[in-house]
């Protein structure tokens, strides 16, 4: 089995995530993609929507799509969760699966400084998602999904805060949850990272 692992804050999940994860699955021949929402990191600046609401949005976003499995393993353990720990955990649960870690190109310059980066690259094949605004020189020979989609969760939150439409940027069911919980009403003053 070829298994994708796609982690993120998913605050909110958007069509960029879904289109690109599908493209990655198609390109790499993945059977399934685990979507793994990250826990809230209390040490980071800014507020992030509660885990249970982000989880509901993610489940709503992919509920009819057999490619995706929403995986809660990071949400209920104390942050930070290191990617290598999650990947090793997944490897234990999906014994024998060939793991592929899907990562946006905005993380390209940092991956080498992630915890146990060499082990991470041994445990999972990296698939990079090219991203508008992220310069990216792939000298590693790793797979790149070259589709450029200019959607970000930051822009979506800003649009909601300033009363602009996010229709078609997120699945309709995600939009309904954002409305129901009155998410993203306050403009962000600090960077989250
Ligand atoms: P934020 O704007 O809050 O940082 P985001 O849109 O980057 O959020 P995340 O949940 O942080 O969304 O992203 C999860 C993963 O998906 C990360 O690896 C991120 O780089 C990648 N990603 C998200 N949107 C895109 C995009 N439009 N193109 C390429 N990669 C993306």
- Write down the pLDDT at residue 86: 97
Q: Which atom of ligand 1 is nearest to the CA of 154?
A: 2
- Write down the pLDDT at residue 80: 84
CA of 190 to the centre of ligand 1 (A): 18
- Cβ atoms of 1 and 31 within 8 Å: the answer is yes
- Write down the pLDDT at residue 137: 80
Backbone angles phi, psi at 29, to 5 degrees: 70, 40
- Write down the pLDDT at residue 111: 93
- Cβ atoms of 176 and 162 within 8 Å: the answer is no
Domain ranges of the chain: 2-150
CA 23 to chain centre: 14
Angle between helices 15-28 and 51-62 (to 10 degrees): 60
CA of 17 to the centre of ligand 1 (A): 7
Fold assignment, 2-150: Rossmann fold (3.40.50)
- Cβ atoms of 35 and 10 within 8 Å: the answer is yes
Q: Is 103 in the pocket of ligand 1 (CB under 6 A)?
A: yes
Q: What is the pTM of this model?
A: 0.95
Segment-wise mean pLDDT, segments of 10 residues, the chain, 193 residues: 97 98 98 95 73 97 97 91 96 98 94 96 97 84 95 97 98 98 87 54
CA distances to 7, 53, 96, 99, 151 from 111, in Å: 14, 28, 25, 17, 22
- Write down the pLDDT at residue 177: 98
């Amino acid at each position: 089995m070829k298994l994708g692992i796609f982690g993120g804050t998913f605050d909110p999940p958007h069509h960029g995530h879904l289109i690109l994860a599908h493209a990655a699955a198609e390109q790499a021949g993945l059977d399934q993609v685990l979507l793994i929402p990250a826990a809230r990191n209390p040490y980071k600046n800014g507020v992030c929507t509660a885990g249970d609401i982000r989880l509901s949005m993610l489940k709503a976003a992919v509920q009819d799509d057999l490619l995706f499995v929403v995986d809660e393993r990071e949400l209920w353990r104390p942050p930070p969760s290191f990617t290598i720990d999650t990947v090793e955990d997944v490897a234990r649960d999906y014994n024998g699966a060939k793991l592929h870690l899907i990562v946006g190109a905005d993380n390209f310059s940092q991956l080498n400084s992630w915890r146990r980066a060499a082990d991470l690259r041994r445990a999972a094949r990296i698939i990079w998602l090219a991203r508008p605004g992220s310069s990216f020189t792939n000298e590693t020979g790793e797979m790149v999904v070259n589709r450029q989609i200019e959607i970000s969760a930051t822009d979506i939150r800003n649009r909601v805060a300033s009363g602009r439409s996010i229709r078609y940027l997120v699945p309709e069911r995600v939009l309904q949850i954002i409305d129901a919980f009155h998410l993203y009403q306050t403009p962000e003053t600090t960077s989250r990272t």
